[in-house]
Protein backbone atom coordinates (compact mmCIF):
# COMPACT_ATOMS: atom_id res chain seq x y z
CA UNK A 1 0.00 0.00 0.00
CA UNK A 2 1.18 3.50 -0.55
CA UNK A 3 2.07 5.56 2.45
CA UNK A 4 -0.29 8.35 3.53
CA UNK A 5 0.47 11.54 5.45
CA UNK A 6 -2.20 12.17 8.07
CA UNK A 7 -3.34 15.22 10.06
CA UNK A 8 -0.53 14.89 12.59
CA UNK A 9 1.85 16.42 10.02
CA UNK A 10 3.46 19.61 11.36
CA UNK A 11 4.94 20.63 7.99
CA UNK A 12 8.53 20.19 9.11
CA UNK A 13 9.58 19.07 5.62
CA UNK A 14 11.92 16.31 6.81
CA UNK A 15 10.22 13.63 4.74
CA UNK A 16 10.47 15.30 1.35
CA UNK A 17 14.23 14.87 0.76
CA UNK A 18 14.18 11.42 2.40
CA UNK A 19 11.98 9.90 -0.31
CA UNK A 20 13.92 7.99 -2.99
CA UNK A 21 11.08 8.50 -5.47
CA UNK A 22 10.35 12.22 -5.13
CA UNK A 23 6.85 11.24 -4.10
CA UNK A 24 6.43 13.88 -1.39
CA UNK A 25 5.55 17.51 -1.92
CA UNK A 26 4.29 20.41 0.14
CA UNK A 27 0.51 20.63 -0.18
CA UNK A 28 -2.04 23.25 0.76
CA UNK A 29 -2.29 22.36 4.43
CA UNK A 30 0.45 19.79 4.89
CA UNK A 31 2.85 17.60 2.97
CA UNK A 32 1.32 15.01 0.68
CA UNK A 33 2.43 11.77 -0.97
CA UNK A 34 1.71 10.98 -4.61
CA UNK A 35 0.67 7.32 -4.46
CA UNK A 36 1.70 6.88 -8.09
CA UNK A 37 5.31 7.45 -7.02
CA UNK A 38 5.33 5.77 -3.61
CA UNK A 39 6.84 2.28 -3.49
CA UNK A 40 6.82 2.08 0.32
CA UNK A 41 10.56 2.44 -0.29
CA UNK A 42 10.68 -1.06 -1.80
CA UNK A 43 13.82 -1.25 -3.92
CA UNK A 44 15.73 1.19 -1.71
CA UNK A 45 15.21 0.63 2.00
CA UNK A 46 13.86 -1.89 4.46
CA UNK A 47 11.62 0.71 6.03
CA UNK A 48 9.60 3.63 4.74
CA UNK A 49 12.00 6.56 5.02
CA UNK A 50 9.31 9.19 5.44
CA UNK A 51 8.00 7.30 8.45
CA UNK A 52 11.54 6.91 9.78
CA UNK A 53 12.26 10.64 9.81
CA UNK A 54 8.82 11.96 10.71
CA UNK A 55 8.79 13.46 14.22
CA UNK A 56 5.04 13.03 14.65
CA UNK A 57 4.42 9.57 13.17
CA UNK A 58 2.27 11.15 10.47
CA UNK A 59 3.36 8.77 7.66
CA UNK A 60 1.19 5.69 7.83
CA UNK A 61 0.23 2.82 5.51
CA UNK A 62 -2.84 3.81 3.49
CA UNK A 63 -5.44 1.10 4.16
CA UNK A 64 -7.25 2.07 0.96
CA UNK A 65 -4.19 1.34 -1.19
CA UNK A 66 -3.03 -2.12 -0.29
CA UNK A 67 -0.25 -3.20 -2.67
CA UNK A 68 2.08 -6.16 -2.62
CA UNK A 69 5.82 -6.26 -3.22
CA UNK A 70 5.69 -7.19 -6.96
CA UNK A 71 3.55 -4.14 -7.70
CA UNK A 72 5.81 -1.87 -5.67
CA UNK A 73 9.11 -3.04 -7.14
CA UNK A 74 7.51 -2.80 -10.58
CA UNK A 75 6.71 0.82 -9.86
CA UNK A 76 10.27 1.44 -8.67
CA UNK A 77 11.61 -0.05 -11.89
CA UNK A 78 9.34 2.16 -13.96
CA UNK A 79 10.35 5.26 -12.03
CA UNK A 80 14.07 4.44 -12.26
CA UNK A 81 14.53 2.72 -15.62
CA UNK A 82 18.33 3.03 -15.52
CA UNK A 83 18.73 1.47 -12.08
CA UNK A 84 19.43 -2.26 -11.72
CA UNK A 85 17.48 -3.38 -8.67
CA UNK A 86 18.48 -7.02 -9.07
CA UNK A 87 16.55 -9.67 -7.16
CA UNK A 88 17.86 -8.95 -3.65
CA UNK A 89 16.55 -5.40 -3.42
CA UNK A 90 15.76 -3.95 0.01
CA UNK A 91 12.12 -4.22 0.95
CA UNK A 92 10.01 -3.79 4.03
CA UNK A 93 8.45 -7.13 3.13
CA UNK A 94 11.82 -8.79 3.76
CA UNK A 95 13.05 -6.66 6.64
CA UNK A 96 14.38 -8.78 9.43
CA UNK A 97 14.17 -11.97 7.40
CA–CA distances in Å: residue 97 to residues 90, 92, 94: 11, 10, 5
**CB of 73 closer than 8 Å to CB of 89:** yes
Separation of alpha carbons 65 and 86, rounded Å: 25
Q: Is 10 in the site for ligand SF4 (CB under 6 A)?
A: yes
The distance of closest approach from Cβ of residue 5 to ligand SF4 in the complex, given in angstroms and rounded to an integer, is 5
**Near ligand SF4 by CB under 6 A: residue from 24, 73, 75, 91:** 24
**Nearest residue (CB) to ligand SF4, 41 versus 73:** 41
91 in contact with ligand SF4 (CB under 6 A):
no
List 27, 36, 56, 83, residue binding ligand SF4 (CB under 6 A): 56
Q: Name the CA dihedral angle for 19, 48, 33, 16, rounded to a multiple of 10 degrees.
A: -30
Alpha carbons 1 and 67: distance in angstroms, whole number: 4
Contact residues for ligand SF4, defined by CB under 6 A: 3, 5, 9-15, 18-19, 21, 23-24, 30-31, 33, 38-41, 48-50, 53-56, 58-59
Amino acid sequence: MATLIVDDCINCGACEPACPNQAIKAGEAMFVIDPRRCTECVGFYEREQCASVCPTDACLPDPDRVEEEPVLIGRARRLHPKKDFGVQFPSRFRAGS
